[in-house]
Amino acid sequence: MLRSLTLTLILTALTTGAFAQSFVVCNRGSGDITVFNRDGNVSQTVALPAATNASEPMYVVQVGGEVVVGDRGNDRVVRFDKDDYSVIGDVAVGAGVFHMWHAAGQLWVNNDVDNTTSVIDTDTWAVTQTIAMPADLVSMGYKNHDVFVTRDAAYVSLLGGSGATDWVVRYDNTTFQETDRQEVGKDPHLWHDRWSRKLFVASQDSDTVAVLDEDDLRVRQTFSAPGAHGIYVPRWSRTLLTTNLPNGGTDGLMAARIGWRGRLRPQDSLDTPVAVPHNIAASRFGSRIFVTHSGATANEVSIYRLRGWFWNRRLELVNTVQAGTNPFGIALVR
């Protein structure tokens, strides 16, 4: 009897995404965030606190009991309580807040106007390091864009320069020194897979996902993925998700199976009902996948689920819902 009950509870969690609490969307155009439950119902719409300039929420991460939102309009990150979304405070960072990521007691925030990355200690909420991007790359017009932090390192993508490729730079997150760099495809976004210990690099303008070793950034595979922009791996899944941003919604969401040592194999794709599929967040097992659709007048988020077993996952559209203006970054909040 106990064994049967335990199995039932496990299967319920796998099929319903019972661990997922909410999805938070940054509405870059309307200066607020939308909090959805897993079914796409709006729990709250919360404006960023007033500041000198109009708020421009970009990306969002969960840090313990807080939800942290980057505000490009005011060169800050804003801290919300994850239960009632009351404002806890904010932290001033560099100019041009863009992507950010949290791990190992640090929040790394890319500032692409002044070409620095702010490192915040999430125990004290003080900026402990301001890292200037590599001078040789900055001189060629490259700007820091995406960032992913692990327990040992931080990976920063640099794009937009005069070279034929873009770059990923690896930093030690104790010394804050560059340890390696690797040329990659154009317009790169990042995801580190904790199981295979590989760095996945989605390059929209090169139509690829590259698989890199986490330590020396050696390229192990170059996988075909048209228009690959947003990138995400559900925590308890072996499926890599990417959005095909530029293709008008055709094959807008793609899934690849992560095999032995991080090698990617084709799995599934489907059209999105709205153009410009941008960023992704998903529940632990992929039973809910939220995708933002960005643009100056856009206001929609599409919802999907992964069906089937680990080695044969299939994508299925669930619903399309409305957020604020220009839905941009998104995060799962547990």
Q: Is residue 79 part of a domain?
A: yes
Q: Is residue 1 part of a domain?
A: no
| Structural domain of 126 | 20-333
Amino acid at 119: V
Q: Around Cβ 64, how many Cβ atoms within 10 Å?
A: 11
The domain tally of the chain equals 1
Q: Is residue 9 part of a domain?
A: no
Q: What is the pLDDT along the chain (334 residues), one digit of tens a residue?
A: 434 433 443 444 444 444 548 999 999 999 999 999 999 999 999 999 999 999 999 999 999 999 999 999 999 999 999 999 999 999 999 999 999 999 999 999 999 999 999 999 999 999 999 999 999 999 999 999 999 999 999 999 999 999 999 999 999 999 999 999 999 999 999 999 999 999 999 999 999 999 999 999 999 999 999 999 999 999 999 999 999 999 999 999 999 999 989 999 999 999 999 999 999 999 999 999 999 999 999 999 999 999 998 778 999 999 999 999 999 999 999 9
Q: Is residue 278 part of a domain?
A: yes
Indicate which CATH number applies to the domain containing 194: 2.130.10.10
Q: In what order do the strands lie in the sheet with 97-103?
A: 97-103, 106-111, 116-121, 126-132
Q: Is residue 149 part of a domain?
A: yes
Radius of gyration of the chain (CA): 19
CA–CA separation, 110 and 174 (whole Å): 17
Question: Which residues are CB-contacts of 173 (< 8 A; sequence separation ≥ 6)?
Answer: 104, 106, 119, 149, 150, 152, 153, 154
Which of 240, 227, 330 has the alpha carbon at shortest distance from 271? 227
Q: Is residue 15 part of a domain?
A: no
Q: Is residue 8 part of a domain?
A: no
Greatest Cα pair distance, the chain, in angstroms, is: 68
On the CB side of 108, CA atoms within 13 Å amount to 28
Which of 304, 294, 303 has the alpha carbon at shortest distance from 324? 294
